[in-house]
Amino acid sequence: MISLIDTHIHLDAPELGGQGLKLLPEAQRCGIDRLVVPGVRVSGWAGMLALAEKTENVYLAPGLHPAYADQWNAAAASQLRELTQQPKVVAIGEIGLDGTVAIPLPQQEIVFRAQLDIALDVGLPVLLHARDATGAVLTILRELGIGQRIGGIWHGFSASIQVAQDLVELGFKIGVGPILLRENARKLPDAVKVLPASALVLETDLPDMAETPETLVRVAEKIAELRSASLDEVARTTTENAQQLFEL
């Protein structure tokens, strides 16, 4: 039986109507025995905690998504700091910059940096979200030495091989998700072929990018095909990589 870790799954997404935990038996059947749920909105953090308390294999990465950066204030900052003391909290996420949303990038950057500061203070890795802002996110990560100091995952990776290699050099893992399964995907398969095995982790980003937990197995199979490796090997290395980063 293979053992996989989904490093990015929104079990608490409003689209799932509170039924996210019902996906766990299927995940278990597919060999997905640990899952990390990233934060999106401040109002979702309490529900995430309740979800993790009800289950053994669900871990949390609370944080504020850049699309909701306007929810950030002193109360949110202290709430996030307190959350990091919970045993099931293994990272801060998903945080970063998003050039496609209405909130101005300078405002997003203040919130991104504030959350990076908390992660650095408490020594937790980060789950990064970067959309139409790759260069700006890279600059901040470099400036603060985030890769070497706490590490993290660049979630939903779809940038160039060059960016992937820069990230790996900086000490980050590459979150490989359902984009890899797209008929017209080019850059991601090329990157997956050449990156070191130690850099790859798996994610579904359900429900945005996948409908069923099983998609994670499809992604792992595709990685195996692209790298001429066995599914077992991909499962073992991606699980080890995630475990290196998170205390699961």
Kindly state the smallest distance separating residue 6's Cβ from Zn ion, in Å: 11
Residues 51/74, Cβ–Cβ less than 8 Å:
no
Least distance (Å) between residue 10 CB and Zn ion: 6
Instruction: Give the nearest residue (CB) to Zn ion.
Output: 205
Q: Residues 160-199 vs Zn ion: string with x where CB under 5 A?
A: ----------------------------------------
DSSP per position, 85-129: TSTTB--EEEEEEETTSSS-HHHHHHHHHHHHHHHHHHT--EEEE
Q: Classify 57 as helix, strand or coil.
A: coil
In the complex, the smallest distance separating the C-beta of residue 205 from Zn ion, rounded to whole angstroms, is 5
Of 45-53, 99-107, 203-211, 226-234: span binding Zn ion (CB under 5 A): 203-211
Rounded least distance, CB 38 to Zn ion, Å:
5
Q: At closest approach, how far in Å is the CB of 174 from Zn ion?
A: 15
Q: Which stretch binds Zn ion (CB under 5 A): 101-109, 176-184, 202-210, 240-248?
A: 202-210
Closer residue to Zn ion, CB minimum distance, 98 or 205:
205
Q: Which is nearer to Zn ion, 83 or 95 (CB)?
A: 95
Residue located via tokens 């608490």: 12
CB of 206 to Zn ion, least distance (A): 9
Q: Give me the helix-helix angle, 105-122 and 74-83, nearest 10°.
A: 30
Which DSSP letter does residue 177 get?
Answer: -
Q: CB under 5 A: which stretch of 81-89, 134-142, 205-213, 238-246 binds Zn ion?
A: 205-213
Q: Between 68 and 72, name the residue whose CB sits nearer to Zn ion.
A: 68
Dihedral of alpha carbons 147, 140, 127, 236, sign: negative
Choices 48-56, 131-139, 158-166, 204-212; region in contact with Zn ion by CB under 5 A: 204-212
By C-beta, is 71 or 165 nearer to Zn ion?
71
| Strands laid side by side in the 92-98 sheet | 92-98, 126-131, 152-154, 172-176, 200-202
From CA 29, how far away is CA 150, in angstroms rounded? 32
Interacting residues of 118 by C-beta distance below 8 A, sequence separation 6+: 77, 80, 81, 84, 92
- CB of residue 9 to Zn ion, shortest distance in Å: 8
Q: How many residues touch Zn ion (CB under 5 A)?
A: 1
- Main-chain phi, psi angles of 164, to 5 degrees: -60, -45
Binding site for Zn ion (CB under 5 A): 205
